Amino acid sequence: MHTDPTDLPAPSRLPSRPELPDPLEFRDGSPVESTADWRDRRAEIRQLLRQYVYGYAPGAPEIETATERTPGVCGGAATLVETEIAFADLPPDAPAITLALFLPADAVDAGRSVPVLLGLNWRGNHAAVADPAVTITDTAREHGGFEEEAADRGAAADYWCVEHVLSRGYGFATHQFADIDPDSGDPADGIRPYYDDELPGPPGTEWGVLAAWAWGLQRCVDALRPMEAVRAEEIIVLGHSRCGKAALLAGATDERIGLVAPHQSGTGGTALDRDNDQEGVGDITGTFPGWFADTYAAFEGQVDRLPVDSHCLAALVAPRPLIDTAGARDHWTNPGRALDAVRAAEPVWDLLGAEGIADDLPLYGDDEIADETVGSICHYRRETAHTLNEGYLDAVLDFADVHFDGAG
């Protein structure tokens, strides 16, 4: 089901279809009726998303890792494992990832492995907790809005709630997105130029920033999976806003990721492009031209020509669990069209024999997230604007508790 990318039509030559493309129908109109058919349709959707939305990313390079372990972090609650992830095929001065993994101390002491929440951060790993053991990287000093150490350490503590996550029996892993791409608007920054020659598509389909961040998250998965302390099948990828878009793309295109949790990811994330009265294709590609493949901008004013929409991206997660979280007052991310997307993706879970949506969605506030209330798909809201906090993290972890084998 892989078409030569040069054979795919330009956006203006794609047929207009105002209704959502059916994830269970091939481009040529034939139906998807079996798991084997779905493998082919999955590959087709993946390629269409690359070609017309996010751009083609390079394959997985060999990684080189160097790890440092510090026990007794966060007042004794955590062991910190910092891993430098470099790319063997790139020169030594090329971008590298500094991944900070916080493990619950009691699990480490008991020799127990844990599920891990993995997410991109904005300001630097040291902003996630106040402990001085966390390295303040050069990237953070350069790109994290760094001012002074005392104010910066733990500046995002209420956002990530790391100690709370650990107390629930999960590890927490994070790296700053600027390690891969600083989001400066200049395509010469970050990792993308190093792989220019390896991308399979025609001009205009090269990976954008979101695809680069997603690729970087997948390299973190490469590094995390072999670690004894990590349950390789229970890595959750979570991200907020632009990082939520990257998290969804990473999780959708990498079946090693055990659970996918885009948070307030909006346009380019879970929210559909069709009938989206908030951030439109023209808005997002106008303000952030580097986030996507150049082809995507051509759909401004003609989203009906997109052969995929965000529900197709969400469907690539199936049959794995997907929780989409949204702020009821976060209008710009269009929670309504995100909910429509997960609903429209559900038939793929059904086809694969997994229960999709169990109860009525959305779940809201203190609604219970448990075996009886959720299937493999959840859309959950809190009464907030655009933010991440403990309430959302608890929803994701409650959902993960349902799907993973007794965490912690």
Number of residues that bind ligand GCU (CB under 6 A): 8
The catalytically annotated residue of 113, 164, 331, 386 is 386
Residue 271 beta carbon to ligand GCU: minimum distance, rounded to whole angstroms? 9
Dist. CA 146–CA 123, nearest whole Å: 7
Residue 122 beta carbon to ligand GCU: minimum distance, rounded to whole angstroms? 9
When asked if residue 242 is in the footprint of ligand GCU (CB under 6 A), the reply is yes
Residue 233 beta carbon to ligand GCU: minimum distance, rounded to whole angstroms? 29
When asked if residue 121 is in the footprint of ligand GCU (CB under 6 A), the reply is no
When asked if residue 356 is in the footprint of ligand GCU (CB under 6 A), the reply is no
Q: Using CB under 6 A, which of the segments 48-56, 150-158, 279-287, 309-317 binds ligand GCU?
A: 279-287
Q: Compute the Cα dihedral for 94, 151, 391, 309 and give only its sign.
A: negative
Closest CA to 134 of 148, 147, 124: 124
Dist. CA 83–CA 4, nearest whole Å: 38
Q: Is 310 a catalytic residue?
A: no
Question: Residue 35 or residue 287: which is nearer to ligand GCU going by CB?
Answer: 287
How is residue 20 written in tokens? Answer: 């959502």
The terminus-to-terminus CA distance of the chain in angstroms comes to: 41
When asked if residue 241 is in the footprint of ligand GCU (CB under 6 A), the reply is yes
When asked if residue 262 is in the footprint of ligand GCU (CB under 6 A), the reply is no
Residue 145 beta carbon to ligand GCU: minimum distance, rounded to whole angstroms? 14
Burial class of 138 by CB neighbour count within 10 A (0 to 12, 13 to 18, 19+): exposed
How is residue 132 written in tokens? Answer: 């001085």
- Structural contact between residues 56 and 201, judged by C-beta atoms closer than 8 angstroms: yes
When asked if residue 325 is in the footprint of ligand GCU (CB under 6 A), the reply is no
Q: Is 263 a catalytic residue?
A: no
When asked if residue 267 is in the footprint of ligand GCU (CB under 6 A), the reply is yes
Dist. CA 33–CA 73, nearest whole Å: 52
- Structural contact between residues 342 and 361, judged by C-beta atoms closer than 8 angstroms: yes
Dist. CA 408–CA 406, nearest whole Å: 7
Residue 194 beta carbon to ligand GCU: minimum distance, rounded to whole angstroms? 24
- Out of 23, 239, 266, 319, the only residue in the binding site for ligand GCU (CB under 6 A) is 266
The catalytically annotated residue of 241, 265, 310, 376 is 241
- Out of 120, 284, 345, 374, the only residue in the binding site for ligand GCU (CB under 6 A) is 284
Burial class of 150 by CB neighbour count within 10 A (0 to 12, 13 to 18, 19+): exposed
3-class SS of residue 10: coil
Question: Residue 52 or residue 170: which is nearer to ligand GCU going by CB?
Answer: 52
Residue 149 beta carbon to ligand GCU: minimum distance, rounded to whole angstroms? 25
Amino acid at 101: L
Residues with catalytic roles: 241, 386
Which residues of this protein are in contact with ligand GCU, per CB under 6 A?
241-242, 266-267, 279, 284, 287, 332
